[in-house]
Structure 1
């Protein structure tokens, strides 16, 4: 079982692709918005509040459990799961949620 820190560390490497994959950036942005909504971290503010690290971790682990059930393997490109996991990692880094993954 992966921790939120391990997920974040594994998928932050995908951030480098943002520079040359604008469609990937757009997809990850949509996933960020959806994860925020699912966690209740969205709202009318111009700058939404940081998501709760524990709730985000629980969500991420549940998502990974679902991927395990379908025997998902990370593709070379960008599928739904890669976009979702990259979005989770982006939230962790954007809001500095875990001390062990701070840059």
Structure 2
């Protein structure tokens, strides 16, 4: 993942631009991936309020921890990438960014 200058000012927009389209597109043809992402989305629904500010703050903390651990995005469906995809999916489904609104 590339962390361009100012990425933390709008973390949801950064995530959607960095991985959103490709991550959400992969879900379309993989029922197992959909189920795994849904589990992560359910965890987020239970853990935090799902508004733009709170989800963005969660994303900042999550990404900071991934960076501290030296994790890098490979595109493989590991736990961190599933959580990031769940954030993308929720961002789209909840229409938290107008330009990434779902159908």
The verdict on a shared fold, with TM-score over 0.5 as the criterion, is: yes
The runs of 5 or more residues in structure 1 that have no matched partner are 41-50
2:24 aligned to which of 4, 15, 18: 15
- Higher RCO (CA-CA < 8 Å; seq separation 6+): 1
CA shift for structure 1 position 76: 3.3
TM-score with structure 1 setting the length: 0.80
TM-score by length of 2: 0.80
**What aligned pairs does 1:11-90 form with structure 2 within 5 A after superposition?**
11-12=19-20, 13-40=22-49, 51-90=50-89
**Contact 2:24 2:88 (C-alpha < 8 Å) held by counterparts:** no
Query: Following TM superposition, by how much is the alpha carbon of 1:24 offset from its aligned partner in structure 2, in angstroms?
Result: 0.9
What whole-Å deviation, never above 9, does each CA across 1:49-80 have from its counterpart, x for those lacking one? Answer: xx211000000110000000011111231000
RMSD of aligned residue pairs (Cα, Å): 1.6
Structure 1's consecutive aligned runs of 4 or more residues displaced over 4 angstroms after TM superposition are none
